[in-house]
């Protein structure tokens, strides 16, 4: 139950409800600004209503400080709806935890909650809330975590160091433009663009991030500028949406007060990029995708990706693990997942999951303290249980890792 409540809360925070309304056929201010021609050689800047910030803080009752990466973008396809935030934080042990946001009426207020099951409080799986306020004249946040006072200090990137700007695009189109109450399809893309650092690895990193944003499963495919990628995805989405609407158009009969077509034809497609972990030469990102195309609910997933900042290279499963790892990982994953499910050591996994033995997913990302394996909804558990993120400490993984990974010196070379 604890896992289900956390997962459902995370889903509601990440994906806009498909009953939202906005004026169809017009791009948001962020989209319009992003498509305007940029000055030659001008560095990109944050789109309106977006932000990326790193914070450090000492949480109540903890001896080790945290690093928090917080990405904010417009909520529900429009700046007018306020902003939505996603955060990932960790201490020196490298175990990342996720934060989602809730709407707030006050523009200087930021309300976050822990969506990781390890951080749930109370026997019913209640979420731990962060109730924060922006500090006047500075980027710091102050307030409470779990009712205890806390201050998050904004960390400015060092001169020339790698950082990110947030780009946001959104648009909508009516399925039947001549109909007064036509259903609407909406699309948004929130992306991160790297700035700073050495030029050659940064360019390689940016190209690999574009490939992952596009969903490539092969390395080295040709890339295109971010705006062109968005326009291509928007064109395909609207084309598919209008075709679906034409094929499934019902007879007009408004008996529920929600228009002649119902909410099931108000399609949505959302893509977003988040920083999951960054330390030294290691960067891990999450590429979130939500799609509603009719039915009882939408579908969502988070594709993790790690990068070696020395070269900008994408680190896939086979770049991280030795071939023999596949035989040993199921046992390690089984040990690590049981506490998340409320199971005792050795208790059968299929009491909570669809499987009796943990499969080895290739959806994995690295931190300086271990690896996180990401299982999508329905992959090993019900939709209500949501995504399952399983952290395995580096100490257990060392014999399974390839050499020369961008990890701390003590674990840089895999044990032989």
195-219 pLDDT per residue, tens:
999 999 999 999 999 999 999 999 9
Identical fold between 163-250+258-316 and 318-411: no
**Confidence tier at 180 by pLDDT (50, 70, 90):** confident
* Residues 177-189, mean pLDDT to the nearest whole number: 91
Q: CATH class for domain 318-411?
A: alpha beta
| Average predicted confidence (pLDDT) for the chain | 87
- Lowest-confidence range among 120-124, 195-199, 286-290, 358-362? 120-124
Q: What's 31's DSSP letter? A: H
Contact between 354 and 381 under an 8 Å Cβ cutoff? The reply is yes
pTM for the whole structure: 0.89
Q: What is the pLDDT of residue 13?
A: 46
pLDDT tens figures, 92-130: 999 999 999 998 878 889 999 999 988 877 556 678 899
The one-character DSSP state at 126 is B
Closest CA to 188 of 18, 377, 304, 68: 18
Torsion of CA 389, 390, 391, 395, to 10 degrees: -160
Distance, first Cα to last Cα, the chain: 41
- For residue 16, the model assigns a pLDDT of 46
pLDDT tens sequence across 15-62: 544 444 445 655 664 444 444 443 345 789 999 999 999 999 999 989
State the average pLDDT over residues 252-259: 55
pLDDT grade, residue 296 (50/70/90)?
confident
Query: What integer pLDDT is reported at residue 28 of this predicted model?
Result: 60
Q: What's the rounded Cα separation, in Å, for the pair 103 and 109? A: 9
CATH superfamily of 163-250+258-316: Fervidobacterium nodosum Rt17-B1 like (3.30.565.40)
Closest CA to 18 of 297, 385, 300: 297
- Give the model confidence (pLDDT) of 72-86 as tens digits: 999 877 666 778 999
Domain assignments of the chain as residue spans, ordered by start = 2-24+42-155, 163-250+258-316, 318-411
Residue 389 CB contacts under 8 Å (≥ 6 apart), including other chains? 98, 116, 372, 373, 374, 375
């Amino acid at each position: 139950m604890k896992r289900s409540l956390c997962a459902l809360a995370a889903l509601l925070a990440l994906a806009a409800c498909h009953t939202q309304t906005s004026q169809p056929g017009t791009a948001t201010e962020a989209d319009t600004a992003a498509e305007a021609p940029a000055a030659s050689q001008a560095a990109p800047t944050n789109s309106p209503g977006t932000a990326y910030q790193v914070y450090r803080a000492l949480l109540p009752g903890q001896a080790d400080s945290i690093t928090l990466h917080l990405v904010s973008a417009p909520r529900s396809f429009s700046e007018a709806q306020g902003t939505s935030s996603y955060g990932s934080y960790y201490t020196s042990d490298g175990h990342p935890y996720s934060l989602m946001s809730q709407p707030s009426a006050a523009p200087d207020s930021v309300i976050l909650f822990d969506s990781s099951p390890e951080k749930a409080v109370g026997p019913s799986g209640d979420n731990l809330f962060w109730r924060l306020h922006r500090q006047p004249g500075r980027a710091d946040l102050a307030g409470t975590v779990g009712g205890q006072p806390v201050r998050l200090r904004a960390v400015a990137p060092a001169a020339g160091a790698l950082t990110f700007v947030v780009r946001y695009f959104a648009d909508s189109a009516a399925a039947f433009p001549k109909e007064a109450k036509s259903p609407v399809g909406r699309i948004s893309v929130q992306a991160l663009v790297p700035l700073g650092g050495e030029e050659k690895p940064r360019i390689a990193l940016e190209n690999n991030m574009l490939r992952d944003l596009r969903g490539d499963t092969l390395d080295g495919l040709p890339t295109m500028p971010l705006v062109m990628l968005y326009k291509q995805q928007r064109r395909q989405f609207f084309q598919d949406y209008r075709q679906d609407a034409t094929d499934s158009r019902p007879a007009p009969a408004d008996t529920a007060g929600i228009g002649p077509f119902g909410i099931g034809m108000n399609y949505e497609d959302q893509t977003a990029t988040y920083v999951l972990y960054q330390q030294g030469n290691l960067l891990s990102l999450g590429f979130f995708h939500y799609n509603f195309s009719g039915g009882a609910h939408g579908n969502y997933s988070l594709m993790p990706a790690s990068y070696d900042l020395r070269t900008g290279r994408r680190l896939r499963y086979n770049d991280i693990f030795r071939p023999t790892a596949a035989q040993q990982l199921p046992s390690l994953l089984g040990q690590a997942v049981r506490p998340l499910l409320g199971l005792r050591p050795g208790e059968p996994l299929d009491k909570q999951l669809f499987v009796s033995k943990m499969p080895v997913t290739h959806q994995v990302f690295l931190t300086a303290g271990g690896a996180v394996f990401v299982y999508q909804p329905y992959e090993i558990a019900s939709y209500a249980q949501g995504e399952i993120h399983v952290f395995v400490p580096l100490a257990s993984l060392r014999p399974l890792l390839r050499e020369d990974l961008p990890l701390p010196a003590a674990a840089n070379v895999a044990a032989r």
